[in-house]
Amino acid sequence: MASNTCLVMRIVSASVSVAKKAGTIVRDIRSKGSLGVVEKTGKNDLQTEADRKAQRCIVASLTRRFSGLIVIGEEELPKEEQIDENLIENGFSEEVDKSVCPEALKDVKMEDVVIWVDPLDGTKEFTEGTKYLDHVTVLIGVAVNGKPVGGVIHQPFYKFDTETQLYVGRTMWGVVGLGAFGFEHKDQTQGKRILTTTRSHGTEAVQETLAAMEPDEVLRVGGAGHKVLLVLEGRVSAYIFASMGCKKWDTCAPEALLQAVGGKLTDVHGNVYRYDKDIKHMNTGGVVAAYRKHDFYIERVPQSIKDVLPSQ
């Protein structure tokens, strides 16, 4: 049983183990080969059986464990009479449990918390064979009074073990005021300005904004979680997406980890997003995320782009 007395730490602890279980579900569905792809209402917006099953696992596991907890998942799913018990994960993370609760989070109550779940971020990449599988992440973000304070990013297809022929996977977590764990930050940009952005949802505005930043390199990869991971690890200088399209479940967990190490994720105006339960899902002002020098990127976004991307 999770033993930390602090609610946020108990939720993050459970989320670490639930995200790993969701990752197992995602891997299993891929190895069986039948992805069950459906096109959602938006253009270029897919959903697979892995998105659906991973979300059922996360939502059911967390709401059963934490009575009264509000959990908002990306996928709209029919309400199930009976939850498949095989989808329930009851574990916790010893590492999180033995960590000290930041002073600012000691008195958080259940009604202050909203969980934002992207059961499979990078669905497009998930459906495209093996080349982009490491772009896929499972995201569980913990918001308290509208602010992201904790998060888990699980990467189910991290490292292929040639002996077992299985992916090893890895799980990163963070709490604002405590830090972020499960990865190493090492600046690998060698003084270059390396930007990361979408590979499948590009627009003219996205292009124009990147060009205005005069990058040395642009890395086009899938997933909001994966792109923030590149920022967290120091493989790129910033994640820039000057377009609507990302939603609260894409940014809540990554933003919490980034904030936990002193980084920043905002819209193109430099305003932070809020994660209250009734907030609109779309991040209308785009995404600018950087480990350091966040202001520089905000200043470089052309005014004409800022004019058409409203803050929340």
Only one residue has tokens 């989808």, namely 87
Buried b (16+ CB within 10 A) or exposed e, 205-233: bbeebbebbebeebeebbbbbbbbbbbbb
| Shortest spacing between CB 232 and ligand AMP, in angstroms | 16
**Tokens encoding 270:** 């430099």
Q: Which of the ranges 10-18, 42-50, 80-88, 153-161 carries the binding residues for ligand AMP, by CB under 6 A?
A: 42-50
Q: Which is nearer to ligand AMP, 144 or 224 (CB)?
A: 224
Q: Which of the ranges 54-62, 85-93, 149-157, 194-202 carries the binding residues for ligand AMP, by CB under 6 A?
A: 194-202
Reply yes or no on whether 123 is catalytic. yes
Residue 16: name its binding partner from ligand AMP, Mg ion, none (Cβ under 5 to 8 Å by kind): none
| Shortest spacing between CB 286 and ligand AMP, in angstroms | 10
101 and 4 in contact (C-beta within 8 Å)?
yes
String of DSSP letters for the chain:
----SSHHHHHHHHHHHHHHHHHHHHHHHHHH-----EE-SSTT-EE-HHHHHHHHHHHHHHHHHSTT-EEEESS--PPPSS--GGG------HHHHTSPPPGGGTT--GGGEEEEEEEEE-HHHHTS-STTGGG-EEEEEEEETTEEEEEEEEETT-SEETTTTEE--EEEEEETTTEEESS-----STT--EEEE-SSS--HHHHHHHHHT--SEEEE-S-HHHHHHHHHHTSSSEEEE-SS--BHHHHHHHHHHHHHTT-EEE-TTSPPP---TTS-SB-TT-EEEESS-HHHHHHHS-HHHHHHS---
Q: Which is nearer to ligand AMP, 75 or 89 (CB)?
A: 75
| Shortest spacing between CB 100 and ligand AMP, in angstroms | 33
Catalytic residue among 48, 118, 121, 123: 123
Site for ligand AMP in 115-154 (CB under 6 A): 121-122
| Shortest spacing between CB 254 and ligand AMP, in angstroms | 10
Site for Mg ion in 77-96 (CB under 5 A): none
Choose which of 89, 118, 125, 267 interacts with Mg ion (CB under 5 A): 118
| Shortest spacing between CB 198 and ligand AMP, in angstroms | 3
Choose which of 23, 73, 102, 223 interacts with ligand AMP (CB under 6 A): 223
Choose which of 119, 150, 222, 285 interacts with ligand AMP (CB under 6 A): 222
State yes or no: residue 255 binds Mg ion (CB under 5 A).
no
Choose which of 73, 102, 150, 245 interacts with ligand AMP (CB under 6 A): 245
| Shortest spacing between CB 195 and Mg ion, in angstroms | 19
Q: Which of the ranges 9-17, 35-43, 103-111, 116-124 carries the binding residues for Mg ion, by CB under 5 A?
A: 116-124
- Residues with catalytic annotation? 51, 123
- Which residues are near ligand AMP by CB under 6 A? 42, 44-45, 121-122, 198, 200-201, 222-224, 245-246, 250
Task: Kindly list the residues in this chain that would bind Mg ion in the complex (CB under 5 A).
Answer: 74, 118, 120-121, 250
